[in-house]
Amino acid sequence: MLLTRPAVLALLALASATLAAGRADAQAPAPRRTTAPASAPSSVRFAFAGGLSVPAGDLGADADLGIALGVRAEGRMRDPRWGMRGDLSWDRYDGHTFANSFSYLSLAGNLVHHERTGRFYEFGGLGVYNSRMQFVNGADRSDTNLGMQAGVGVTLPSGSARWFTEFGLTSAFTSGRSSIWFPLRAGFWF
């Protein structure tokens, strides 16, 4: 849990900065509309993502570079710059000490803020993380804990699918050791 306090502070700073930007935007006069409004996009969109995951803290001392896979759904709020996102993800690492492998299956809810350009976004939220360790002696241990995640991303428009890449911080509040990792994912919305 070495990085838990700094991660919480970083998440709070990110939320404060995005809320401050929203208040500054509210004070600016609204531009005059000269064209008809665009049709509203679908209320919910889905994505697949995959990439690498870098373990840190106690997990980093016992595990190698891992893989990250996930599916997600995002719905926009009344203000189109804000959305709610649900993530189902799986991260797996090979162990190199007392454990053969570490894996984390998570279900998380995130608040997402899209910048004015629509390309860059920030996210943060809480989730439920099921961790599983398979030991070298054949035994395994599994438990479920709360955790949090936060990060930044960029969307790259390309044809009918919208590709994205993002970098995040994930911390599962496991007992007795820190389970922290940095996923770097790429994926596409459909």
Supply the DSSP string of 43-110, one letter for each residue: SEEEEEEEEEEEEEHHHHHHB--EEEEEEEEEEE-SSTTEEEEEEEEEEEEEBSSSEEEEEEEEEEEE
Question: What pLDDT does residue 46 have?
Answer: 95
| CATH architecture for residues 4-16+45-189 | Beta Barrel (2.40)
CA atoms of 80 and 130, how far apart (whole Å): 32
How many Cβ atoms from other residues are within 10 Å of residue 176's Cβ?
Answer: 6
Spans of the chain, pLDDT less than 50: 1-5, 7-9, 11, 14-15, 17-26, 36-39
Q: Please report, in angstroms and rounded to a whole number, the separation of the first and last CA atoms in the chain.
A: 36
Do residues 64 and 184 touch, judged by C-beta distance below 8 A?
no
CA atoms of 78 and 51, how far apart (whole Å): 31
pLDDT tens digits for range 125-155:
999 999 999 998 888 889 999 999 999 999 8
Question: What pLDDT does residue 177 have?
Answer: 77
CA atoms of 77 and 94, how far apart (whole Å): 39
Do residues 4 and 173 touch, judged by C-beta distance below 8 A?
yes
Strands 99-114 and 82-94: antiparallel
- In this structure, what token pair is assigned to residue 164? 């994205």
Q: Of the candidates 129, 58, 145, which has an alpha carbon nearest to the alpha carbon of residue 98? A: 58
* Amino acid residing at 11: L
Question: What pLDDT does residue 158 have?
Answer: 72
How do the domains of the chain map onto residue ranges?
4-16+45-189
Question: What pLDDT does residue 41 have?
Answer: 53
Question: What pLDDT does residue 3 have?
Answer: 44
